[in-house]
């Protein structure tokens, strides 16, 4: 398939993220499918930030090692990415600050002459890229107008300066397919939550899930969402449970370190049977780890977090559509079963930009919880067949609604009576059986590639994109569980049928999914693990799969 990668790099603070977004939108407008990988260290100014914008005929969810265009705003970008260049790669660089082969433009001088500010160097270099790639001037203007929040006209003027002083050399074709919307994983999560009836989002900023907070805060007025940023993650989850008690659907977002603080609130949700969605964006740990990079090392933590025993849903979407869909499902299931539900993601998925199919958001809707509609005494924890008690919310005349962190009877009054403890405990745990049955209605495990292949690649979360594309090239089968608790053993075993060799691909050092499989009697022959904070590129996984199959 036709495939094309652009790398833009510079120092933090030079607007690389925004520039990558503009390039993505330009290529999107030509009908290409987009994936953007962002790489940046944890600092505000300086360092080296870069983005790889990959465009392809078909939908993709991974970057490639080699690039076709290098746009360099500083010397590091040229020096650090030499190995990515092909013989015919185009290099456009700021000749005022960078020494390189290729096509140099005096960006500093040009923006000064046009009356722009330093950050507008990236508009100038994008203009040059457009001309080199044969992207028409009106498309450039249209995309800049639509996607630059401030001073679009000046940016266009500066971009056209770069445009006019460059020669066409790439002749990038337009693809005759309609452009998609572009969303990051974080934004897709936000869309899913909104669609499923989210009323409030509470979060303390933490990479890589801060994007959900920013996205929903920006939409709070339009969608009538209460978005709160309190003093700590402890406060975050407790506030969310206060919202849930009042019948308002709430979600929270964090990463490993913040989730550590949420654990007592998580257990409270388990005992008090209060629904909450927790977006858990993984990054390398333990502790602060490598805050702006990626990992999949919190699976065991999330599966086992909180003290005591209680039912939870853990979903691990693999791309933007799945992030949207499963966030909505998580919210619906949280309220249907009155349990905490996780959307377990990682930095790669959270911050990457994808071509997003609208059907993902169309396919979900808000599902009403089981409501109490009777007169007489209200029992918040009525012991039912499914373990799910009908809900009533304050203020409700005639009903006294008592939620409790303590072991309690049907009314919510504290108990230490052994028989009541046992029956209340059983009531809560019974939900898992019904939840597992319910999950049969969902595609909790997906399979891709060659269904009759003897070698199956198993992956979870953001590795879906790279595994599916690599496996298609190599003729393998891919199995991706989207739910990790309750473990969809039936669907998983079904998908695994016929596989003689199973290779697990994960971004952690110990093979957490492989461990989960082994604990359920599912054999894993090999593990391909990567834990340097970087996601697999397509080329890298292809080569490591090749080795593993030998």
Partner 1 sequence: MSQNDLGTYAVNTWCPGCGNFAILNAVKAILDELRNEGFPLEKVVLVSGIGCHAKIVDYINVNSFYSIHGRVVPVAIGIKLANPDLKVIGFAGDGDAYGEGLEHLIFAAKRNIDITMIIHNNRVYGLTTGQYTPTSPLGFRGRSTPFGTRELPINPLELMLSSGATFLARGYSHGIELLKGIFKEALAHKGFSLVDVLQVCVTFYNMYQYYTRHAYELKDHDPRNYDGALQKIREWDYNKEAPIALGTFYKKEAATFEEPFRDYGAQVDRGSKIRQLLEKNI
Q: Which residues bind partner 1 (CB under 8 A)?
A: 28-29, 146, 179-183, 187, 191, 194-195, 199-200, 202, 219-220, 222-226, 228, 230-232, 234-236, 238-243, 245-248, 250, 264-265, 268, 272, 356, 358, 361, 377, 394-406, 408, 411-414
Query: Rounded to whole angstroms, how far apart are CA atoms 468 and 33?
Result: 16
Least distance from C-beta 87 to partner 1, angstroms? 35
Least distance from C-beta 325 to partner 1, angstroms? 13
Cβ nearer to partner 1, comparing 168 with 362: 362
Query: Of 319, 296, 302, 280, which Cα lies nearest the Cα of 512?
Result: 296
Cβ nearer to partner 1, comparing 130 with 364: 364
Least distance from C-beta 199 to partner 1, angstroms? 7
Q: What is the DSSP string of 201-252?
A: EEE---TTTHHHHHHHHHHHHHHT-EEE--S-HHHHHHHHHHHHHTT--EEE
Token pair listed for 197: 């009836």
Cβ nearer to partner 1, comparing 214 with 402: 402
Least distance from C-beta 400 to partner 1, angstroms? 6
Whether the CB-CB separation of 214 and 205 falls below 8 Å is answered with: no
Please report, for residues 10, 283, 439, the alpha-carbon distance to residue 45 in angstroms, rounded to integers and kept in the order given: 10, 21, 46
Cβ nearer to partner 1, comparing 267 with 296: 267
Please report, for residues 257, 346, 400, the alpha-carbon distance to residue 233 in angstroms, rounded to integers and kept in the order given: 9, 18, 30
Cβ nearer to partner 1, comparing 17 with 97: 17
Query: Of 180, 105, 122, which Cα lies nearest the Cα of 358?
Result: 180
Whether the CB-CB separation of 109 and 96 falls below 8 Å is answered with: yes
Cβ nearer to partner 1, comparing 328 with 466: 328
Least distance from C-beta 213 to partner 1, angstroms? 16
Least distance from C-beta 396 to partner 1, angstroms? 6
- Full 3-state SS string of 485-506: ECCCHHHHHHHHCCCCEEEEEE
Helix axes 320-337, 418-439, angle to 10 degrees: 150
Token pair listed for 31: 């009908």
Cβ nearer to partner 1, comparing 402 with 446: 402
Least distance from C-beta 128 to partner 1, angstroms? 24
């Amino acid at each position: 398939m036709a495939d094309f990668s652009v790398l833009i790099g510079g120092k933090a603070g030079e607007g690389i993220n925004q520039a990558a977004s503009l390039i993505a939108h330009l290529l999107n407008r030509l009908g290409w499918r987009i994936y953007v990988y962002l790489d940046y260290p944890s600092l505000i100014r300086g360092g080296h930030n870069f983005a790889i914008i990959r465009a392809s005929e078909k939908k993709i969810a991974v970057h490639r090692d080699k690039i076709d265009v290098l746009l360099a705003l500083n010397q590091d970008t040229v020096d650090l990415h030499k190995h990515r260049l092909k013989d015919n790669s185009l290099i456009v660089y700021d000749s005022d600050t960078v020494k390189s082969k290729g096509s140099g433009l005096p960006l500093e001088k040009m923006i000064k002459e046009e009356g722009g500010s330093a950050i507008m160097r990236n508009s100038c270099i994008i203009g040059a890229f457009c001309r080199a790639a044969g992207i028409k001037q009106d498309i450039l203007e249209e995309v800049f107008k639509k996607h630059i929040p401030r001073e679009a006209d000046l940016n266009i003027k500066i971009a056209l300066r770069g445009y006019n002083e460059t020669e066409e050399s790439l002749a990038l074709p337009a693809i005759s397919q309609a452009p998609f919307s572009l969303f990051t994983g974080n934004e897709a999560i936000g869309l899913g939550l909104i669609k499923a009836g989210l009323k409030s989002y509470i979060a303390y900023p933490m990479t890589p899930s801060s994007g959900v907070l920013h996205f929903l805060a920006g939409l709070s007025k339009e969608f009538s969402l209460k978005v709160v940023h309190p003093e700590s993650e402890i406060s975050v989850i407790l506030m969310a449970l206060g919202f849930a008690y009042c019948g308002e659907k709430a979600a929270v977002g964090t990463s490993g370190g913040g989730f550590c603080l949420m654990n007592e609130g998580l257990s409270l949700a388990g005992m008090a049977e209060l629904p909450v969605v927790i977006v858990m964006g993984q990054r390398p740990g333990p502790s602060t780890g490598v805050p702006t990079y990626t990992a999949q090392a919190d699976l065991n933590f999330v599966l086992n977090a909180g003290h005591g025993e209680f039912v939870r849903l853990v979903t691990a979407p693999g791309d933007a559509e799945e992030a949207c869909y499963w966030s909505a499902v998580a919210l619906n299931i949280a309220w249907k079963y009155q349990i905490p539900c996780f959307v377990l993601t990682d930095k790669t998925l959270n911050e990457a930009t994808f071509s997003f199919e609208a059907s993902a958001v169309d396919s979900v809707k808000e599902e009403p919880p089981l409501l109490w509609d009777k007169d007489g005494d209200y029992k918040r924890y009525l012991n039912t067949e499914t373990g799910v008690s009908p809900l009533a919310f304050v203020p409700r005349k005639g009903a006294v609604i008592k939620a409790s962190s303590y072991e309690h009877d049907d009314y919510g009054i504290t108990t230490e009576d052994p028989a009541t403890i046992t029956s209340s405990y059983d009531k809560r745990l019974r939900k898992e059986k019904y939840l597992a049955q319910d999950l049969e209605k969902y595609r909790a495990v997906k399979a891709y590639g060659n269904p009759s292949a003897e070698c199956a690649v198993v992956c979870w979360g953001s590795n879906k994109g790279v595994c599916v594309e690599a496996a298609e090239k190599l003729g393998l089968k891919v199995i991706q569980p989207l739910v990790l608790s309750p473990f969809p053993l039936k669907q998983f075993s079904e998908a695994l049928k016929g596989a003689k060799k199973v290779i697990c691909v994960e971004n952690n050092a110990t093979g957490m999914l492989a461990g989960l499989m082994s604990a359920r009697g599912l054999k894993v022959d090999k593990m391909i693990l990567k834990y340097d904070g970087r996601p697999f590129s397509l080329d890298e996984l292809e080569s490591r799969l090749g080795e593993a199959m030998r």
